[in-house]
Homo-oligomer: A and B are copies of this chain.
Amino acid sequence: MSTTPWVHNFKGLDRLPADIRTQLETKSHIIEVPAGTQIFAPGQTADSLWLLLDGTVKVQQKSETGRDIFLYRVHAGDSCVLTTASMLAFEDHAAEGTAETDIKAVAIPRDLFDSLVAKSPVFREFVFTAYSRRITDLFTLIDDIVFQRMDVRLAARLLELADGANIVRATHAVLATELGTAREVISRTLSEFQRRGWIEQSRGEVRLVGRAGMERLIKTAAAPA
């Protein structure tokens, strides 16, 4: 790890001038947290910006109605820009972030973050790009929720979540909050997928055995012309 500097894991940051980069590397520190850890939560103020080296973080909105809804997933190579908001204590967001897997990340302390934004145009660009990508991601999420059929969205999500062996380890309830729908809808849709021979199910997991069919479903929905 120490042999290849982590800066190269982040598109944009490798263009930092040497002095800034040294500063970033010396004044930030690498942290590791186990799966399941709350990274941030409503009401908490963060003290550093995280850049994910390894693992994934799931960001969900805690609804007033008690139900959760999935917003986005932070992957290795992404930064957790939402924390900059709470970092600077501007507003309290209603979102919470949880480590889905064991996590390795770079933590940039608040004052270092601020000084880098001030000093480095490249770092500025990095931060703003991250912000606007989040926003445009949310735009397409909204688009999806409003216009896309459930079966298409579920098929797409299954393909995303599948591991190397084409297995998705998630309960129907989890898939439901991922897509902002009800568990029953997931159950019914998965039954239909199974009937079509696209998947096999067992408790807590879905095995994809007919990706082609699901991909076809998605494609036809995307290009109705």
Partner-binding segment picked from A1-9, A29-37, A59-67, A207-215: A59-67
Stretch binding the partner chain, chosen from A98-106, A115-123, A164-172, A189-197: A115-123
With a cutoff of 8 Å between Cβ atoms, the chain B residues found around residue A95 in the complex are: 136, 139
At the interface with chain B, which of A17-25, A143-151, A198-206? Answer: A143-151
Interface of chain A residues 43 through 96 with chain B (CB within 8 A): 61, 63-65, 67, 69, 71, 82, 84-85, 88, 90-91, 93-95
**What residues of chain B lie closer than 8 Å to A134, measured between beta carbons?**
135
Q: Which of B64, B91, B142, B224 contacts A136 (CB 8 A)?
A: B91
Count A interface residues, CB 8 Å. 43
In the complex, 6 of the A-B residue pairs with CB atoms within 8 angstroms, ordered by the A residue number, are A61-B142, A65-B224, A71-B139, A84-B132, A138-B138, A145-B145
Tell me the A residues contacting B by CB distance below 8 Å: 61, 63-65, 67, 69, 71, 82, 84-85, 88, 90-91, 93-95, 114, 117-119, 121, 124-125, 128-129, 131-136, 138-143, 145-147, 180, 222, 224
